[in-house]
Structure 1
Amino acid sequence: MPSEEEKKSADASSAASPSGSPAFYDSRHGESAAHGHGFFREVWDGFKRDPNASVGQGASGRGNYDAETAAKATAESPLARKLKGRHLQMIAIGGSIGTGLFVGSGSALATGGPASLLIAFSLIGIMLYCTVHALGEMAVVFPVAGSFSAYSTRFIDPAWGFAMGWNYALQWMVTLPLEIVAACFTVSWWTHNSINNDAWVIIFIVVIGAINLFGVRGYGEAEFVFSIIKVTAVVGFIILGIILNVGGGPDGEYIGGKYWHAPGAFNNGFKGLCSVFVTAAFSFAGTELVGLGAAEAANPRKSLPTAIKQVFWRITLFYIVSLTLVGLLVPYTDDRLIGNSSADVNASPFTVAINNAGISVIPSIFNAVILLAVLSVGNSSVFGASRTLAALAEQGQAPRFLGYIDRKGRPLPAILITTACGFLGFFAGSDKEGDAFAWMIALSGLSSIFTWGSICLAHIRFRKAWKQAGHTLDELAFRSQPGLIGSWVGFIFNVLVLIAQFWTGFAPIGYAEMSAAQRTEVWFEVYLAGPIALLCYIGYKVWFRTKIVRTKDMDLVTGRRDLDITELLAEERAERAQWSRGRKFYKFFC
């Protein structure tokens, strides 16, 4: 029998719990402590609104934006902090390896040739290396919901934060159906279209939706598995590609660099190179998700720097090395590289290279990897869009219902709306397929460039405000390796890419043979994200009359999880000073 003291303690717990039942739930961390409740009751209670959740009043009326309340809402978001270091590392390494690399690189090779492919991906990779380090520095200091869109609001202009938040959410909302269709095309490689693609659309939507309903831990575990498989496949292709290139294939033919001589290293000259930049940007999209996950990391100060540093290896090994081999093994004149759709797995230069070598089994295995890769990016699409929409709602920049976060830390309405965008994949079976997906790609093509440029600009302004407030770099738990110079390089390069894409959209390859209507359509397909971002920015700025945030007015306190760690950081730096040269070299990159 319980004692009188135990009964009183239980009564007190019951009165304090939000449901009136004995402290069955810790709403902050999404952990059930249920006693006496069945499994289904616990699941049902998990979908209820977190009592600690609140939606900010960032934009409560015309000419009225409360930046302080908005910053507090993103800092105190009840998202579950369950991502571990291994989750963040795999999100950083394999989070964006999908159709952009495996399939989209085929059309890029056909457009620009192997040299353009390598140069464009290398330049975007360098720019992204600088960008992700800038993001990592801010995300370790401010692991808030919404990450880079919130930084644009706080360090640039609330109107620009609004534009970048919706720009990023829309990017992932249209990427989801693209990835689902790519998965359907992959399956049809085996079924030969004997099963209607609409059936696969439903199956993939259910699978991706179910993974995200398991919460951030489910997303993290799924990405951990997906990324291991993708990384293994790319490493396997690199080994196989080297063997095939030196004559180790079934026919024993030495290939070397003959395709760089005939048909050649470049196609369509400088314009061909500029045209590859959008494909490269689309391929690298998703790398910034590691910063978005900081708000849901158990210990971002420890786990985020390691994940950020590993971007170097992903760019070098998984993109540059594999695409170098693709350019050596496949001539850009191969008709299969164009494909019937932007999501056509038969247009994958990886599959074409293996088929050219006369190997019959491996293409099927690699297509299975492509299937998992596109599902992985689809999974990331729901995560990226839902967290951004919820953060926008918390800042008062999106409908309030999108800010609903349940007791398991899931932004349910945002997840459901994003997942519902997957039904756009039904266009794959219609006669309007080409037009529909051309416009969806147009919406997402340049979005990453705007996002990355905003991250670099926000970091530049953050550093200025940090110095102006009397802080030193020694107070930062993680410092961007390329530093302020890297952020300027990243920002300027993003602007140059936007200019190059404006030119290739205004005067595309084959411009002389096009009618005026066709030229206009091509420009919008390439540059649609630009007018949309500007419209969002100007409209919000005019309506709410926001101002560019002055550095002396920037909030450098709200959302900082570790405020007084200067002594701890000094001890850690003293310890690192005692490391051997080999360990310092390893830790610099990992």
Structure 2
Amino acid sequence: MSSLDKTDGTTSHMTTDTNSNSKVGTWQSFKDSFQRADVETVATVGLTDIEKANQGSAAAPLSRDLKNRHLQMIAIGGAVGTGLLVGSGGSLRTGGPAALLIAWGLVGTMVFCTMHALGELAIAFPVSGAFSAYATRFVDSSWGFAVGWNYAIMWLIVLPLELVAAAMCILFWNSEINPVAWVTIFYLVIVIINLFGVKGYGEAEFYLAIVKVIAIVGFILFGVVIVCGGGPNHEIVGAKTWNEAGSFASGFKGVCTVFVTASYSLAGTELIGLAAAESENPRKALPRAIKQVFWRVFIFYFMSLTFIGLLVPSNSPDLLGSSNTSASPFVLAIKYSGVEVLPSIFNAVILIAVVSVGNAAVYGCSRTIQSLGAQGLGPSFLNYVDRKGRPLAGLAISGIFGLLCFLSAYENEGEVFAWLLSVSGLSTIFSWFSIGLCHIRFRMALKVQGRSTSELTFTALTGIWGSLYSMILLAVVLVVQFWVALFPVHSDGTPQAKNFFQNYLGVFVIIIFYIGHKLYTRNWRIIIDLKDIDLDTGRRITDFEGLRQEIAEEKEFFSKKPFYWRVYNTWC
């Protein structure tokens, strides 16, 4: 099979079969699939570092096997992970129920703006690496290097963390078996899923996301029933916990701490941008998936956290951080209501969510590493993509770092993982900030080069003002994080160096990456001139006149529909 990708006058061919007419044995075919994909090289003599990077990310021979249903469930289910199902318990204890709603509500608006900006860029340029490639294209190669590697390292560390979390979920039922045994099983499952390529990842996420969606919707309905007095004891809960334990647990600082945690918990929403390069038709599939961000944040986070705050008091000794327990606030809400069987069922859902996040970690890391290799921001072997479209070098590195999960057998594994996570703990913040910056510069470049948004099939509903808003809010998050890292909640007012570096080391890491790349490459350019930004390489659609005609016909069809239909399709 051969796929053709036109990128600014160059042609790239990927061959996935050595000879489609010959009969090859199953084992031989399997071995051959790991051979490097045949890609027609293009001349790079005389090209700048940015031009080479754009060519490399656009010509990546990744498979385009993700269908519309895969992207829909990746978008919907990507918001549900351990940040919501487990981490929200610690936030409830620190900030109180009102802080949960304030923090996640504000961060949700920022994510909505950021994802729309990413959608506009990803549909126009469905290239490998997405926002790391956009950072190189629209800002500078050093910024692309810093953002890309910081993001890849985050997923490298998240994988072993999630594997250990999965083993801890099993201990809810059986504490006699060594966690290392469960870690091994989950590690092998995730590695095997990703060896099936992007289709394996898409199918796994499709079914895992369905389970998570059903569970969260079921919990919300359960919360309505219990709060209104439909539980075993028929007690009307109402706002009882708010009145008894208080709306705010630690005042303004507690809200700030939850504000930071809320940003972390929504990490992974940007994976939909990475998936664009491996989508059959990003122009048709991505807009609906991007629009789902608002609803998944509102329904999955805002509504479920509302009932968590109503059913679990913030001073509960079972919450994360109150003792040695790591019980999910969802499980506690069910347990406190007096329902017998449901806690085990929901613990199984948490286990599924943990495996899903681990699966996403391998996908996100491997694709980002491959893109960095293709852009020349890493060793060339990182760009190794086999005949099935699998970025083998990236998958291998993810698998090797995943072996850190066996540190779970070490008695101080929590301390080790805390320091590992601190290296890239703020990487999501920088990635989201970079997306907003790239979107604004993309729009500015269109204007400077005499082009307009009429050549775009999807434009961000919030425009550049939404991107500016998200950048300002993310800058506030960084300032707030500095404060609570230096003077954590319940501290005596004395700066705590260990806590500060564990929570703010990521800022220094990305600065070191940025300056290190400048020094190594002797590239003293701060930012690319708007008139020099490449607005064509990597586009799958280059017939702009035909595209404008198609868009006009779609708008005419849209205008003839009823008002309620238009509102639904605008937001959903």
TM-score between both structures, scaled by the size of structure 1: 0.91
Q: Which residue of 1 aligns with 2:10?
A: none
Q: Deviations over 1:507-537 (max 9, x none)?
A: 21233276x6xx0010011111111011101
- CA distance in 2 between partners of 1:28 and 1:391 (Å): 19
Q: 1:30 to 1:541 in 2, by over 3 A?
A: farther
Tell me by how many angstroms 1:422 deviates.
1.8
Give the letter aligned to residue 538 of structure 1. Answer: I
Tell me by how many angstroms 1:277 deviates.
2.3
Residue 560 of structure 1 pairs with residue 543 of structure 2: no
Tell me by how many angstroms 1:445 deviates.
2.9
Give the letter aligned to residue 267 of structure 1. Answer: A
- CA distance in 2 between partners of 1:337 and 1:222 (Å): 31
Tell me by how many angstroms 1:347 deviates.
2.1
For residues 19-418 of structure 1, the aligned pairs below 5 Å read 27=14, 33=20, 35-52=22-39, 66-192=49-175, 194-338=176-320, 346-418=326-398
Tell me by how many angstroms 1:546 deviates.
4.3
Residues 453, 490 of structure 1: 8 Å contact kept: yes
Tell me by how many angstroms 1:135 deviates.
0.3
- CA distance in 2 between partners of 1:377 and 1:260 (Å): 32
For residues 465-484 of structure 1, the aligned pairs below 5 Å read 465-484=445-464
Q: 1:34 to 1:107 in 2, by over 3 A?
A: farther
Tell me by how many angstroms 1:589 deviates.
1.6
Residues 55, 396 of structure 1: 8 Å contact kept: no
Give the letter aligned to residue 297 of structure 2. Answer: I
- CA distance in 2 between partners of 1:109 and 1:54 (Å): 54
2:38 aligns to what SS in structure 1?
coil
Q: Deviations over 1:271-310 (max 9, x none)?
A: 1111112321221110000011000000000000010001
Aligned counterpart for 1:530 among listed residues 507, 516, 538: 507
Tell me by how many angstroms 1:440 deviates.
3.0
Moved more, 568-577 or 226-235: 568-577
Tell me by how many angstroms 1:444 deviates.
3.9
Tell me by how many angstroms 1:110 deviates.
0.5
Q: Which residue of 1 aligns with 2:530?
A: 551
Residues 53, 77 of structure 1: 8 Å contact kept: no
Tell me by how many angstroms 1:542 deviates.
2.5
Deviation above 4 Å: which 4+ runs of structure 1?
Answer: 28-32, 53-58, 339-342
Give the letter aligned to residue 411 of structure 1. Answer: P
Give the letter aligned to residue 563 of structure 1. Answer: T
Tell me by how many angstroms 1:315 deviates.
0.6
Residues 49, 141 of structure 2: 8 Å contact kept: no
2:535 aligns to what SS in structure 1?
coil
Tell me by how many angstroms 1:458 deviates.
0.6
Q: Which residue of 2 aligns with 1:491?
A: 471
Give the letter aligned to residue 321 of structure 1. Answer: M
Give the letter aligned to residue 66 of structure 1. Answer: D
- CA distance in 1 between partners of 2:291 and 2:41 (Å): 34
Residue 427 of structure 1 pairs with residue 407 of structure 2: yes
Q: 1:319 to 1:57 in 2, by over 3 A?
A: farther
Residue 520 of structure 1 pairs with residue 458 of structure 2: no
Q: 1:77 to 1:579 in 2, by over 3 A?
A: same
Tell me by how many angstroms 1:442 deviates.
2.1
Tell me by how many angstroms 1:69 deviates.
1.4
Residues 87, 320 of structure 2: 8 Å contact kept: no
Give the letter aligned to residue 580 of structure 1. Answer: P
Q: 1:32 to 1:141 in 2, by over 3 A?
A: farther
Q: Deviations over 1:154-177 (max 9, x none)?
A: 101110110000111011111111
- CA distance in 2 between partners of 1:559 and 1:456 (Å): 20
Q: Which residue of 1 aligns with 2:7?
A: none
Tell me by how many angstroms 1:580 deviates.
1.6
Tell me by how many angstroms 1:56 deviates.
10
Q: 1:409 to 1:55 in 2, by over 3 A?
A: farther
1:42 aligns to what SS in structure 2?
helix
TM-score between both structures, scaled by the size of structure 2: 0.94
Unaligned runs of 5+ in 1: 1-12, 14-25
Q: Which residue of 1 aligns with 2:436?
A: 456
Q: Which residue of 1 aligns with 2:552?
A: 570
Give the letter aligned to residue 257 of structure 1. Answer: A
2:171 aligns to what SS in structure 1?
helix
Unaligned runs of 5+ in 2: 2-12
Residues 135, 291 of structure 1: 8 Å contact kept: yes
Q: Share of identical aligned residues, percent?
A: 50
Q: Which residue of 2 aligns with 1:16?
A: none
Tell me by how many angstroms 1:400 deviates.
1.6
- CA distance in 2 between partners of 1:55 and 1:352 (Å): 58
Residues 97, 230 of structure 1: 8 Å contact kept: yes
The alignment covers a number of residue pairs equal to 556
- CA distance in 2 between partners of 1:576 and 1:109 (Å): 44
Residues 138, 441 of structure 2: 8 Å contact kept: yes
Q: 1:546 to 1:303 in 2, by over 3 A?
A: farther
Q: 1:469 to 1:537 in 2, by over 3 A?
A: same
Residues 178, 437 of structure 1: 8 Å contact kept: yes
Q: 1:203 to 1:546 in 2, by over 3 A?
A: farther
Give the letter aligned to residue 488 of structure 1. Answer: L
Give the letter aligned to residue 538 of structure 2. Answer: G
Residues 159, 546 of structure 1: 8 Å contact kept: no
2:471 aligns to what SS in structure 1?
helix
Give the letter aligned to residue 159 of structure 1. Answer: S
Tell me by how many angstroms 1:543 deviates.
2.4
